[in-house]
Amino acid sequence: APPEPAPGPEPPAGGGEAAEHRALVLTGFGGYEKVKVQARRGGGPRPGELSVRVRACGLNFADLMARQGLYDRLPPPPICPGMECAGTVRAVGDDVRDRQVGDKVMVLARSGLWQEVVNVPASQTFLMPEGMSFEEAAALLVNYITAYMILFDFGNLRPNQSVLIHMAAGGVGTAAIQLCKTVENVTIFGTASASKHDYLKESGVTHPIDYRTMDYAEEVRKISPKGTSGGGLLQLSCLSSKCKETSNYFQFPLGVDIVLDPLGGSDTSKAFNLLKPMGKVITYGVANLLTGQKKNLMAMAKTWWNQFSINALQLLHHNKAVCGYHLGYMDEEHELVGGVVAKLINLYTQGKIKPKIDSVWPFDQVADAMRQMQEKKNVGKVILVPEAPKEETKKEEN
């Protein structure tokens, strides 16, 4: 595990201006108070890297999981969290040819981005398109890459299909809604508490469902068109007049074509059972583990116990697909991820997607920011901003 740098003398400045800067640091597993603002020092960018002055950072479910010790893609604390940010290039390392000082970039990383200044490989940065704010840029990568890949790669969403989006007002949820709207005539079921339903309707959700007051699976079944019986292949009559297979055998509600499942546990099974033939459930998180500020062993046991499990023969008889998605395990997939980002930037510049910002919090209020998300008060993305000292900001903007 990388030890925290002790405050000390200025290290040799590779890229010049190596000064103390503020960073959010996860000091140990536990509640909101475990994330603290600390001073850090660093050198300039190494070869292949950029030094970026961070202007906005995205908060993700995985950050909440990480704080509780439930995210296995990070070294143990103390560690600087943060998987996405946006800012301005302040120094360019050797061997970087496609970026220059002053470029506005968004950054994706396994961790470490919740700082005023970060050094990152240029290959993990993407140029922000014209007209995009830093907040939007910090809200784009994790949520939209996830939503795009689960809907269009695994989900293979096509016109006239139907999708169930859980936590539809959350980061991935709002992204998924917008992406669904780029496909003709998609029916969207979206779960969220009732107070968010107006927003869901405005943004294109066909059927908002209040998962707190009703069984969402029952509700989806109620709304879905019923399976047409009428016989079909079952109705093949033998020439023998004694053979009278009847047809009303298989009347069932059709369900949906795609379920996006960020919940895990028993909700994955519910999702599977809600699928139409050729339907796909894409599980991409275990939000059910997060029941409060701290790790909840009961919730973990329950989620594990109720976990969806299937074998090949069962799957064979269902005409369904089960997919698992985790951007955190996509580290090496530059080409794949870069291709998706290019498509997203294209959709943004066409005005087809636009990150919905719920709220913006300075580093000092990171606890409130995390609470906003954990208590599911947010509609859209929760953003952190470093609030850099005014003088330096001014200097760089000139």
Q: Which of residues 106-125 bind its own copies (CB under 8 A)?
A: 108-112, 115, 117-121, 123-124
CB neighbour list of residue 191: distance below 8 Å, 6 or more residues apart: 164, 165, 166, 167, 168, 208, 209, 210, 211, 216
Cβ nearer to its own copies, comparing 161 with 378: 161
C-alpha distances out from residue 150 to 233, 280, 281, 309, 326, Å: 33, 10, 9, 20, 10
Which 117-176 positions form the footprint of its own copies (CB under 8 A)? 117-121, 123-124, 149, 153-154, 156
Which residue's CB is nearer to its own copies, number 204 or number 277? 277
Pick from 24, 26, 35, 49 the residue near its own copies by CB under 8 A.
49
For 289, the token pair is 């583990």
Find the binding residues for its own copies in span 218-237 (CB under 8 A).
227-229, 231-237
DSSP state letter for 362 = E
Judged by CB under 8 A, which of 3, 9, 159, 351 binds its own copies?
3
297 versus 312: smaller Cβ distance to its own copies: 312
- Span near its own copies by CB under 8 A; candidates 134-142, 176-184, 204-212, 304-312: 304-312
Q: Which residue stretch of 190-198, 212-220, 331-339, 387-395 sits at the interface with its own copies (rule: CB under 8 A)?
A: 331-339
Q: Coil, strand, or helix at residue 112?
A: coil
Q: Which residues inside 234-253 make contact with its own copies, applying CB under 8 A?
A: 234-243, 245, 250
Compute CA 363 distance to the chain's CA centroid, rounded to the nearest angstrom: 21
- Binding piece for its own copies, criterion CB under 8 A, among 326-334, 348-356, 361-369, 375-383: 326-334
Residues 6+ apart with CB under 8 A from 289: 65, 68, 70, 264, 296, 299, 300, 303
Minimal distance in Å, beta carbon 334 to its own copies? Answer: 5
Q: What backbone torsions phi and psi does residue 346 show, to the nearest 5 degrees?
A: -60, -45
Q: Does 346 bind its own copies (CB under 8 A)?
A: no
Each residue 70-109 as x (binds its own copies by CB under 8 A) or -, in order, gives: ----------x---------------------------xx
Total residues interacting with its own copies, rule: CB under 8 A: 89
> Scanning residues 350 to 389, which ones bind its own copies (CB under 8 A)?
none
Q: How far is CA 266 from CA 202, 261, 375, in A?
A: 30, 11, 21
Closer to its own copies by CB, 1 or 351: give it.
Answer: 1
- Closest separation between CB of residue 117 and its own copies, Å? 7
In angstroms, the Cα distances linking 9 to 2, 6, 42, 244 are: 19, 9, 11, 90
Structure tokens at 18: 């190596």
Position 342 contacts its own copies (CB under 8 A): no
d(CA 1, CA 205): 44
Retrieve residue 324's tokens.
């698992």
Binding test (CB under 8 A) with its own copies, winner from 100, 195, 319, 346: 319
Q: Exactly one of 321, 347, 360, 367 binds its own copies (CB under 8 A); which one?
A: 321
Closest CA to 355 of 109, 60, 54, 133: 133
**10, 17, 333, 375: residue in contact with its own copies (rule CB under 8 A):** 333
Task: Report yes or no: 18 and 42 within 8 Å, Cβ to Cβ.
Answer: yes
Return the residue of 213, 246, 309, 350 that touches its own copies, per CB under 8 A: 309
Quick check: 284 binds its own copies (CB under 8 A)? yes
Q: Which is nearer to its own copies, 184 or 332 (CB)?
A: 332
Name which position in 22, 34, 41, 67 contacts its own copies (CB under 8 A).
41
The closest of 351, 340, 350, 354 to 140, measured between CA atoms, is 354
Q: Is 328 exposed, middle or buried (0-12, 13-18, 19+ CB in 10 A)?
A: middle
The enclosing H or E element of 273 equals: helix 266-274
* Beta-carbon count within 10 A of 223 CB: 15
Q: Tell me which residues in 253-282 interact with its own copies (CB under 8 A).
A: 261, 264, 268, 277-278, 280, 282
CB closer to its own copies, 111 vs 378 = 111
